[in-house]
Amino acid sequence: MKPTIEIEYCPKCGWMLRAAYMAQEVLSTFSEELHGVLLIPSEVAGRFTVRTSEQEIFNRKREGRFPEIKELKQLIRDRVCPDKDLGHSERKNERDGSL
């Protein structure tokens, strides 16, 4: 069975649109590898976490920031389909050698 990505966000903080944008980006990249993306309004203020049913992928409070979409796609890929090429998201920046 294909995994489902869960994005839990704080609706009181106004993060629903951010969560929806990230869900759209994840589904665009992993349409064949995922069952879907579930948006979960959190009852805990300030929460923004991304996870599969088995493990946490990103936690805003732990990291002290929101994930960049490129970073989130790489984290999801590493857990869901490690052999998938993310194309331009993985090409190195020629100036500094970073991804």
Beta bridge partners of residue 38, listed in sequence order: 6
pLDDT by residue, tens only, the chain of 99 residues: 899 999 999 999 999 999 999 999 999 999 999 999 999 999 999 999 999 988 999 999 999 999 999 999 999 999 999 999 988 665 554 444 555
Give the H or E element holding residue 22: helix 16-29
State which amino acid sits at residue 32.
Answer: E
- How far apart CA 28 and CA 85 sit, in angstroms, is 14
- Whether this prediction's pTM lies above 0.75 is answered by yes
